[in-house]
Amino acid sequence: MSRTPIIAGNWKLHMNPEQTTEFVDAVKDKLPDPSKVESLICAPAVDLDALRKAAKGSNLHIGAENCYFEDEGAYTGETSPKVLKEMGMDYVIIGHSERRGYFHETDEDINKKAKAIFANGLKPIICCGESLETREANKQEDWVVAQIKAALDGLTAEQVSSLVIAYEPIWAIGTGKTASSDQAEEMCKTIRETVKDLYNEETAENVRIQYGGSVKPANVKELMSKPDIDGGLVGGASLKPESFLELVNYQD
C-alpha cells in the first residue's frame, strides 16, 4: 500500500498565537519523517500566521479548520481560500460535524468549498459521520455514503486521489467513546468502496481516509493497524505537544 499515513490535529477553538508558537517549537524537531507519517496541525484562523512562522522549515504540515467558497467579496467574517494558499497552508478541513451542526453548513456548501480549495491549490480534508440516532437506527452507511457523494460531486478522479476524507462518528467526538477499530474500519472501507464506485479502483486506492473521534495515544496503534484507516483527525489529544508527538510517532 502506497498511501502515506496522515495524523492531523484539529485544534477547534483552542489556542492563541503565543500558545501556537510554543506548541510548534516543542514538537517541530521530533516529528516523524514525512515519507512515513505526515504530521499536520489545523488551527483557528487567528493562529495561522503564528503557525506558519513557527512551522517554517520543519516537517509540520499546516492547515485551516474551515474556509469560505469565495476568494473575495462582501462576506463579512469569512476566510478566503486564496489567502490561505498565499499564507502557505497545505490543507483545509471542511464539513466538520460542528460546522454542519452549529453553523448549518450543507452538503452543497461543502462541495463548493472543496472546489474552491482545489481551485486555489490546497487540499481539503472532508469530514463525514453519523449521529448516535442514525447509528442506532442502523442507517449510518446510507448517511455517510450520501455525504460523500454530495461532497465529491463534480470533482475529478485526480482531485479525489489527492484529498483526505475523515470519518468522524458524531457520538465519538469529544466523548471519550471511540468507535471500535472494527466499526471504524467498516465505515472507512465503505467510504473507499464508494469512491471506487464513483471513480475507479486507482482513485479508491489513492484516497486517504482518516478516523476521528476520541483518538488518543492509547488507541492510535490499534486504529492505524486497520487496512482502510490511513490516519487520524484528532481534537482533544492534539492540544498537548507530548500527546501529539505520541500520536504522530505511533510507529516507533
Ligand X SMILES: O=C[C@H](O)COP(=O)(O)O
Binding ligand X by CB under 6 A: which of 212, 220, 228, 250? 212
**Is 95 among the annotated ligand-binding positions?**
no
Closer to ligand X by CB, 37 or 173: give it: 173
- What is the distance between the alpha carbons of residues 15 and 35, in angstroms, rounded to a whole number? 28
Residues 6+ apart with CB under 8 A from 210: 6, 8, 125, 164, 165, 166, 167, 229, 230, 231, 232, 233
Q: According to DSSP H, which parts of 103-180 are helical?
A: 107-119, 132-136, 140-152, 157-162
Q: Does 155 bind ligand X (CB under 6 A)?
A: no
CB of 8 to ligand X, least distance (A): 8
Part in contact with ligand X (CB under 6 A); list of ranges 30-38, 148-156, 209-217, 223-231: 209-217
Q: Does 63 bind ligand X (CB under 6 A)?
A: no
Part in contact with ligand X (CB under 6 A); list of ranges 15-23, 78-86, 108-116, 230-238: 230-238
DSSP letter for 5, please.
P
**Is 12 among the annotated ligand-binding positions?**
yes
Instruction: Name the grid cell of 106.
Output: 450543507
Catalytic (active site) residue 168: yes
Helix or strand run (H / E) with residue 92: strand 91-94
Binding ligand X by CB under 6 A: which of 38, 84, 236, 245? 236
CB of 49 to ligand X, least distance (A): 22
Closest CA to 231 of 31, 29, 35, 38: 38
Block residue for cell numbers 501556537: 20
Active-site position among 105, 130, 168, 185: 168
Residues that bind ligand X (CB under 6 A): 10, 96, 168, 173-174, 212-215, 233-237
Annotated binding site for substrate: 10-12, 174, 214, 235-236
